């Protein structure tokens, strides 16, 4: 079967599709990823069908249209996902998909281009969740904005086959219900093909902190202040995706992009912005967390994690060290993290879920 995966051109949107791509490839399916050209190096070794500009150009156009930053939930985010990106990407995406001839399209939940392509080509499609439940009013606004794009092209949206949901039940807020077409799938950290040797700091007995702000936060000052607080609190610190990568110095090693599966086993605590990919990978690995949210769904994730007892949320960067000491040694945080790892391990893998999608395509 030819499977086409699609995502907004940002690491936090596209990378969660990689475990599904790996499962599909292992099962003998041909798999390609629809995305912008600048994302291709991050998505190796999978074939990338290029369509639309990168995120920076899309953000600039959205800010021109709205006067607001789309990084925060609100009108600009609605325009970005359901308007700007569709306008700048759909026609090229349709050409690529027409040539590729997919039998199934799977997109992440904020991708409004792929369902339009699916409607135009009459191809079944499914979605992969990359966040917790999206507030109903925000999603209603995005769908209303998207409807204008559908009407403009005389398209009628088709019903999706399924919603693949990697969020474990214990992270749901009170009153949140799973999607009616939801299929639980185990959150899976990306391994990557290049090996990575975790640093040897040459001193035993110090706790280990993994710092990552993900692919969406670029704040060198914030990184430096968080790292310094952790080192001063007695941690060896590995920064994944550092703004200034380089060799280990003192008790700090600033690395470039590192697949989380390579470094999570090394860490005693994960300090992050609360992006979904990092959060779910840390939960699956049973690691307690410290979260300093910046934008998008990060504050919502921080609230969910704190309520579940697996993380502390901080406001000031200098709080990182003391907070990490608390969660790395506190029995309640460690127990909650261990329970989280057990619950996520009980969720079906992408390899187990893939046959359900295949059957749904056959029965369509």
Q: What are the DSSP calls for 213-280, one per residue?
A: -TTT---HHHHHHHHHHHHHTTEEEEETT-SS--S-BTTEEE-SS--HHHHGGG-SEEEE---HHHHH
Q: Hey, how many other C-beta atoms are within 10 angstroms of the C-beta on 216?
A: 18
pLDDT in tens, 3-23: 999 999 998 899 999 999 999
Per DSSP, which regions of the chain are E strands? 2-6, 30-35, 47-50, 104-108, 125-128, 163-165, 182-184, 207-212, 235-239, 252-254, 269-272, 289-291, 311-313
**Is residue 137 over pLDDT 90?**
no
CB 34 within 8 A of CB 41: no
Residues in contact with 17: Cβ distance below 8 Å, sequence separation at least 6, in sequence order? 5, 7, 33, 106, 108, 128
Handedness of CA 298, 299, 301, 305 (dihedral sign): positive
Give the model confidence (pLDDT) of 328-339 as tens digits: 988 999 999 999
Instruction: Name which of 335, 36, 351 is nearest 185 in CA terms.
Output: 351
User: Shortest CA distance to 337 belongs to which of 269, 291, 275, 277?
Assistant: 269
d(CA 237, CA 252): 5
Calculate the average pLDDT of the chain: 89
- Cα distance between residue 363 and residue 41, in whole Å: 36
- Per-residue pLDDT tens digits for 294-341: 777 788 888 888 888 889 999 888 999 999 999 998 899 999 999 999
Indicate the domain borders of the chain.
2-186+347-363, 207-345
Q: Is the Cβ–Cβ distance between 242 and 218 less than 8 Å?
A: no
pLDDT > 90: what percent of the chain?
60
What pLDDT does residue 350 have? 95
Confidence (pTM): 0.88
pLDDT at 164 over 90: yes
Cβ atoms of 208 and 329 within 8 Å: the answer is: no
Indicate the fold that domain 207-345 takes in CATH. Rossmann fold (3.40.50)
Rounded to whole angstroms, how far apart are CA atoms 4 and 18? 12
* Residue entry with tokens 């080192």: 231
Q: Report how far residue 243's alpha carbon sits from residue 233's, in angstroms, rounded to the nearest whole number.
A: 22
- Give me Rg for the CA atoms of the chain: 20
Q: Would the pLDDT of 243 be above 70?
A: no
CATH topology of domain 2-186+347-363: Rossmann fold (3.40.50)
pLDDT score at 196 = 73
């Amino acid at each position: 079967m030819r499977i086409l995966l699609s995502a907004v051109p940002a690491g936090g949107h596209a990378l969660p599709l990689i475990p599904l791509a790996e499962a599909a490839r292992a099962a003998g399916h041909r798999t390609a990823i629809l995305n912008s050209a600048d994302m291709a190096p991050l998505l190796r070794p999978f074939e990338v069908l290029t369509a639309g500009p990168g995120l920076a150009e899309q953000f600039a156009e959205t800010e021109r249209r709205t006067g607001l930053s789309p990084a925060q939930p609100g009108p600009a985010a609605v325009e970005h996902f359901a308007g700007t990106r569709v306008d700048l990407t759909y026609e090229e995406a349709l050409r690529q998909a027409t040539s590729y001839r997919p039998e199934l399209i799977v997109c992440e939940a904020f991708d409004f281009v792929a369902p339009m392509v699916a409607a135009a080509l009459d191809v079944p499609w499914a979605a992969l969740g990359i966040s917790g439940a999206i507030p109903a009013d925000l999603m209603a606004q995005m769908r209303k904005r998207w409807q204008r794009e559908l009407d403009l092209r005389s398209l009628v949206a088709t019903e999706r086959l399924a919603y693949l949901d990697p969020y474990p039940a214990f992270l749901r807020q009170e009153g949140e219900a799973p999607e009616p077409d939801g299929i639980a799938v185990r959150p899976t950290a990306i391994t990557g093909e290049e090996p990575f040797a975790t640093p040897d700091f040459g001193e035993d007995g110090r706790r280990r902190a993994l710092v990552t702000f993900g692919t969406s936060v670029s704040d060198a000052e914030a990184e430096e202040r968080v790292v310094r607080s952790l080192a001063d609190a007695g941690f060896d610190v590995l920064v994944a995706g550092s703004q200034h990568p380089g060799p280990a110095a003192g008790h700090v090693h600033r690395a470039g992009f590192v697949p989380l599966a390579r470094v999570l086993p090394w860490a005693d605590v994960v300090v992050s912005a609360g992006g979904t990919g990092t959060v779910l990978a840390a939960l699956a690995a049973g690691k307690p967390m410290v979260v300093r949210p910046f934008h998008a769904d990060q504050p919502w994730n921080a609230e969910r994690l704190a309520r579940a007892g697996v993380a502390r949320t901080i406001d000031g960067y200098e709080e990182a060290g003391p907070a990490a000491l608390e969660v790395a040694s506190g029995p309640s945080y460690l127990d909650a993290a261990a329970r989280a790892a057990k619950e996520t391990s009980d969720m079906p893998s992408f390899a187990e879920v893939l046959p359900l999608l295949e059957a749904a395509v056959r029965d369509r």
